[in-house]
Structure 1
Amino acid sequence: MAFISGPVPECFEREVTASPAEFARDLRKASTVEVETVAPGHFRLRGGATRLDIHVAAGGVRRIGLLELPTLSVRYEFSGGSEADRRALLLPLDRAMQRGGG
């Protein structure tokens, strides 16, 4: 996961290296609020007046030498609340779901 360095937009996409099951597990562990599964690959979080819908779709495999990593295309859609509210909901997720590496 990449950190948002500027204002948190209402909608953006990321590519992450995880399986759908790993992403769902890590999302639940990382969230400071309850995570609702709306449909397969669709999660919803609510923090005060802010709602975050996360849509996850398989993105293929990234190969680095003999290492193969599953990738996901993840779309984040916020509704309600201010930019500060969006940041407050996203920041703990980013920190907790960050994986090791360089």
Structure 2
Amino acid sequence: MNTLIEIKEQTIGQETVQTVNARELYTFLEVNSKFADWIVRRIKEYGFLENQDYGFMFLKNEKRKNVISKEYHITLDMAKELSMVERNEKGRQARR
């Protein structure tokens, strides 16, 4: 199966589930706002829950040594809902 966005197994809460990297989804969907603003706004707006719908980790940026990024891993259900609310062709492609 050819996937548009890489699916990985991650532990969210106490379960190992299939996830996608939220930043990769954001890039695929061609969202115009900054990633950090987009993901925080969507989490609040749609009531997603940490350790149920998503998890995150902090990673050092390889290019900018003093920068630490917050990487979100989101469940496939959350990814589908985020794709749906973008209301564009990329969102439709991601849902399939």
TM over 0.5: no
- Give the structure, 1 or 2, with the largest relative contact order (CA under 8 Å, sep 6 or more): 1
Structure with the bigger percentage of strand: 1
Normalised by the length of structure 2, the TM-score is 0.36
Normalised by the length of structure 1, the TM-score is 0.35
Structure with the bigger percentage of helix: 2
